[in-house]
Amino acid sequence: MSGIVPLKFFLFVLFGKTIAAPSLGNKISINLDISGDAPEQVGSLPSVEYPGAVNYFMKRTYYFSHVMGSISDAGEIILEDPQVTSRRVLVLTREDGTKYVKVSNRYKNFRGRSNRKIVEFIRRPVDFYYTQIFRAPLKLNVKTYDDDSFIKVENGETGKVFTIRDELKDELVIGAVNYGEYNINHDIEGLMERTVRVVEGRVVYIIIVSKYVNGIEFEMKYKFVDGRIPSLSRFSITVNILKLR
């Protein structure tokens, strides 16, 4: 629909106004092995978002002089990146013994501005080493979807909620979203997670919450009005900065 501004426009505006990061100079690299005690310069706290997980971060005293370097587990290197200017690490051991590691990196681009990139890794009990998570996008037509093999549908007081099944969240992500023949949201570049809620009535409301690897969460609200001239329009957009908690 020509009336719906592409998400790329909002990404451009947002990053075009990114606050310049302070000049950090050459930081001292501190390696973190998540199988043992953290170095003196690295703090740790229980995760708010993931029960049972632990967040690792540079303590305030060392933030401007040190940076987490290589991330490893019992000697196995998970991630190395000498260009990073700051880093936070979340580690979760799931009930089945699977280890999930989420690393939030910050970089300074050629203009001196701070950019963010989130990378995720996983090692199951049957795996010999960690692998980076890359999710395949799954197209969803919320008007006609009737298969729960990959996407689960929960019916509640606030409408239908579409999410990837829990056991598939490391492999799949809801990608392009349609309502019948209408394209709603096809922005999938860098997409980590997407939830879709549909409230049906004389006017159909569709709310899409999308999380991206650049640390941005978009909540977009659309409405579909049927009639002699059906119309689909976006009437709200909310932008949040994701916190690694």
pLDDT given at position 3: 47
pLDDT given at position 232: 85
pLDDT given at position 24: 44
Q: Identify which of 148, 161, 152, 229 has the alpha carbon closest to the alpha carbon of residue 200.
A: 161
In tens, the pLDDT along 25-82 reads: 589 999 999 999 999 999 999 998 889 999 999 999 999 999 999 999 999 999 998 8
Amino acid at 21: A
Sheet order of strands, 182-185 included: 136-141, 172-179, 182-185
Taking the model in full, what pTM does it have?
A: 0.84
- In Å, how far are 173, 183, 192, 205, 214 from 186, measured between CA atoms? 12, 7, 14, 17, 17
pLDDT given at position 162: 97
pLDDT given at position 4: 59
Q: In whole angstroms, what is the distance from residue 104 CA to residue 216 CA?
A: 12
Q: Any bridge partners for residue 140, and if so which?
A: 177
Q: In whole angstroms, what is the distance from residue 153 CA to residue 201 CA?
A: 18
pLDDT given at position 235: 86
pLDDT given at position 171: 97
pLDDT given at position 73: 97
Q: Three-state SS for 23?
A: coil
pLDDT given at position 5: 54
Q: Identify which of 131, 209, 135, 202 has the alpha carbon closest to the alpha carbon of residue 171.
A: 135
Q: Which residue has tokens 């929960």?
A: 154
pLDDT given at position 23: 36
Using 70 as the pLDDT threshold, list the residues of the chain that sit under it.
1-25, 244-245
pLDDT given at position 17: 38
Would you give the distance in Å from CA 76 to the centre of its chain?
25
Q: At residue 62, what are phi and psi to the nearest 5 degrees?
A: -110, 0
- Domain layout of the chain by residue ranges: 28-132, 136-238
